[in-house]
Amino acid sequence: MTVTSLKSMDEIRQGGIFALPASPSLKAWTAAWSEACTGLKCTGISDGFFNSLRILVPSVALSIVLGAVTGYALSHRRIRGGNVLFAALLLGAFMPYQVFIYPLVRLFSAVGIYGSLAGIVLVHVIFGLPVMTLLFRNYYSSLPVDLFKAARVDGAGFWQIFFYVVLPMSTPALVVAAILQITGIWNDFILGLVFAGRDNLPMTVLLNNVVNSSQGEKLYNVNMAATILTALLPLAVYFLSGRWFVRGIAAGGVKG
């Protein structure tokens, strides 16, 4: 993909898919970012990049916060109906998205948030909550119970224990949660296509429009450059925080 993105179309037509480019050029990358047609607009996938960021940041933050609080409440707190709630969340985690799309479209249309930024953020938070709750519940269940008992003896309440005892020890789980949510939300296509609306289409949707465009010449170098640009963020997240991911998964898998 990288080699092809650095070639001209004349060189690509000559074959030699793995051959290094004779005259490497970044023109395809520039075209993919700011000139490629994503439908009626030929402004590249740059708009989708900023749309994806606007969707990603609140979705990741809200889903992690809610998952951490819910996971803590279900791990060391005796809550009436807590096991039923956890079972319902797990059931939701294993059901395919397609089952919920039509009901959510009708519901969001009724309340007036369909096709808006708030709507797509809420969808990602809803679908991310089961996995986030499972991750944090397992991680917090592996922490020593005596820590929580000592905090309660000292008079600490729910939120004091969460902020001053639990969160400082949650770095591995937070990193794993961030990696899962960032890559999952950034790579999402179907939910962004259905719920984001025309003004908030994420990068993956615009990439699909670029690659599958049937107008004019098929620019394989531009398609490859656009694909790599779309994948850069999740790749960077994995490479920069891979060891934390393994550590957090191992820490959260001690007890279930």
Q: What pLDDT sits at residue 214? A: 61
Q: Whose CA is closest to 49, among 185, 189, 230?
A: 230
The predicted model scores a pTM of 0.85
Contact, 166 vs 140, CB < 8 A? Answer: yes
Q: Give the distance, in angstroms, between the CA of residue 148 and the centroid of all CA atoms in the same chain.
A: 32
Q: For the chain, list the domains and their CATH numbers.
A: 2-252 (1.10.3720.10)
Burial (Cβ within 10 Å: 0-12, 13-18, ≥19) of residue 124? buried
DSSP per residue over 39-63, as a string?
SS--STTHHHHHHHHHHHHHHHHHH
Q: What pLDDT sits at residue 244? A: 66
Q: What pLDDT sits at residue 42? A: 83
Q: What pLDDT sits at residue 112? A: 92
DSSP per residue over 208-221, as a string?
HHHHT--SS---HH
Q: What pLDDT sits at residue 111? A: 93
Q: Give the distance, in angstroms, between the CA of residue 202 and the centroid of all CA atoms in the same chain.
A: 11
**Which are the contacts of 14, defined by CB distance < 8 A and separation ≥ 6?**
none
Angle at the Cα of 237 from the Cα atoms of 63 and 36, rounded to 5 degrees = 95
Average pLDDT by stretches of 10, the chain with 256 residues: 91 85 90 86 89 95 93 78 76 81 93 93 92 88 84 85 88 88 93 91 91 77 93 87 65 48
Q: Phi-psi category of 15—alpha, beta or left, where left has phi over 0 and alpha has psi -120 to 50?
A: left
Contact, 169 vs 143, CB < 8 A? Answer: yes
